[in-house]
Amino acid sequence: MKVWLKKPIILPALIILGVLALMIIKSGKSAPTAGTVAEYATPVEVQTLQASAITPYAIGYGTAKPSSNLNVPAEVSAEISWIHPKLKQGANLTAGTKVVMFETRDIELTLSKTKADLTSQSTRVAELDLEERNAEQQLQLSQQKYELAKAEFERKKALSKQGAISNSTVDTEQRNLINQETDLENMKLKLALYPKQRELLGSEIKIAQAQIEEQERNLARTQVFLPFNARIGSVNVEKGSFISKGSTLFVAQGKNNMEILTQIPAKKMLPLLSYAMGEKSSNDSSSLQKKLGLKAKVFWVDGPETAFWTAKVLRSNDSIDSKTRSIGLIVGIDNAVEQEVIGIRPPIFKGMYLKVEITGNQFEAIKIPRSAIHQGNIYLKDSENRLVIEQAQVAFVQGDDAILQQAPSLNSIILSDLIPAVPGMLLLPVPVMAQNTLTTP
């Protein structure tokens, strides 16, 4: 310790200086005054509610398949004599193209034989007509002979009673009468059989004509033509092979009209039905589709954004999928070939994975962001910038928006998430664009 601090007069002087300094400080400090605390206004993003045009939509996925898929069968049993050089899997051929020919020799031989039989039967009918006319003339002669023989017998019988001739002469004349009567009955029986013979020949002629028609059809069936513009699937024939009737020659897939079976959850179908909500259903599905104004657009999932096709809803599936609880809708693409654009919109192939977007008629409603709903409630701002909490009346949710079934009591909705949200709290509305810079105390 320094020497000057050890002097007796120094310590009392320091104490006096400290007391004086404390008095000076207290004399310069003013007494506290009473005041009021200002209420804090919470900044919030506010949107004015108003009805707007709502386009309901639903999205599903599915694979494409041709609306016409024909397993072309062989209609005759014969050997393949010719195959179109382009009849290969994946080839495109136009309607009316001849693609397969069968050997025709056996069919032509059968046809010639049947025609010969028909000619023979027709000739037999002409002969039968001549025989019938001849038999009718012979019947007349037999009738005359019988009448003469009968008269002669009666005459000689009378002479025998008079004793002019012997009984043996009468017996001879009686035998002659019996022979004439027998000839007459035989001619009548022969004439009676001609209609039956003609009927039998008529049946045989009809059979021959039917066989000729069948063989002519078989001859036409030896040439196979494409019934529509097609993309060829699997091919099961080779030149020279024998094909049995009913065997599949090849598969032809229509390439101009395609169909997609898309599965859409039943809940997602609700927005599409909103336009006709509350109306009675009809057995005519086409009238319901027309009323709902269903339209479709198909996108290639694995392709560019330009790869889309206009389509239409054709019909619904016959049942709800038991696993996914979804409804199947069949969407059709007409004139798919005409919509092809190289490098932009490619051809549609069987099995192509597609996204289907179905839209319905527009209607007026109020929509709000889904984020503006907080545990089933919405936050509103009254005319005094105070918080009002109401239950949200949501008809359905579509994407990031919720479509309100009923308008709330106020037309200013708060988009911000308030923590805590106290009814009546003071709010400070800020522009929507200020959302990202909005801060809370």
User: What is the torsion angle, in degrees rounded to the nearest 10, for the CA atoms of residue 93, residue 96, residue 101 and residue 102?
Assistant: 130
313: which strand partners? Answer: 331
Say what the pLDDT of residue 98 is: 95
Can you give the CATH number for the domain in which 325 is found?
2.40.30.170
Residue 308 CA, chain-centre distance (Å), reads 19
Mean pLDDT of 70-98: 92
Is the pLDDT assigned to residue 27 strictly greater than 60?
no
Q: Say if residue 436's pLDDT is above 50.
A: no
Same domain for 118 and 92, yes or no, is: no
| 169 and 93 together in one domain | no
| Choice between 273 and 424, residue whose per-residue pLDDT is larger | 424
Q: Which of 330, 363, 396 represents a domain boundary (last residue)?
A: 363
**Residue 7 counted as domain residue:** no
- Give the pLDDT mean for 191-200: 87
Ranking 26-40, 155-169, 253-267, 269-283 by mean pLDDT, the lowest is: 26-40
Residue bearing the bigger pLDDT, 326 or 354:
354
Mark whether 356 and 383 lie in a shared domain.
Answer: no
CATH of the domain at 81: 2.40.50.100
pLDDT value at 160 more than 60? yes
Same domain, 131 and 101: no
Asked whether residue 323 is domain-assigned, the answer is: yes
Band of the pLDDT at 276, cuts 50, 70, 90? Answer: low
**Residue at 89 is within a domain:** yes
For the ranges 180-184, 347-351, 387-391, the one whose mean pLDDT is highest:
387-391
Residue 14, in any domain of the structure:
no
Residues 370 and 420 in one domain: yes
36 domain residue, yes or no: no
By percentage, how much of the chain surpasses pLDDT 90?
Answer: 27
Residues 168 and 200 in one domain: yes
Query: Is residue 217 a part of any domain in this protein?
Result: no
Q: Residue 243: give the domain boundaries.
A: 70-105+222-253
Q: Which residue did the predictor score with more confidence, 399 or 214? A: 214
Residue 335 and residue 268 share a domain: yes
Nearest to 270 by CA among 402, 392, 408: 402
**Together in a domain, 278 and 321:** yes
| 357 and 371 fall within a common domain | no
pLDDT interval class at 355 (50, 70, 90): very high
Q: What percentage of the chain has pLDDT greater than the value 70?
A: 85
pLDDT (mean) for 361-389 = 90
Q: What is the mean pLDDT of the chain?
A: 83
Number of domains in the chain: 4
For the CA atoms of 381, 382, 385, 390, what is the dihedral angle to 10 degrees?
-40
> Which residue, 326, 343, 363, sits at the end of a domain?
363
Please indicate, yes or no, whether residues 236 and 267 belong to a single structural domain of this protein.
no
At residue 276, φ and ψ (nearest 5 deg) are -110, 20
Whether 142 and 204 map to the same domain: the answer is yes
How far is 301 from 308, CA to CA, in rounded Å? 9
Residue 11, in any domain of the structure = no
Mean pLDDT of 252-273: 84
pLDDT of residue 389: 92
What CATH number has the domain bearing residue 416?
2.40.420.20
Q: Looking at the predicted structure, is the pLDDT value of residue 285 above 70?
A: no
Q: Which of 432, 422, 368, 312 is nearest to 42 (CA)?
A: 422
Section 405-426 average pLDDT: 88
Q: Is residue 10 situated within a structural domain?
A: no
| 363, 382, 414 - which closes a domain | 363
Q: Are residues 386 and 292 in the same domain?
A: no
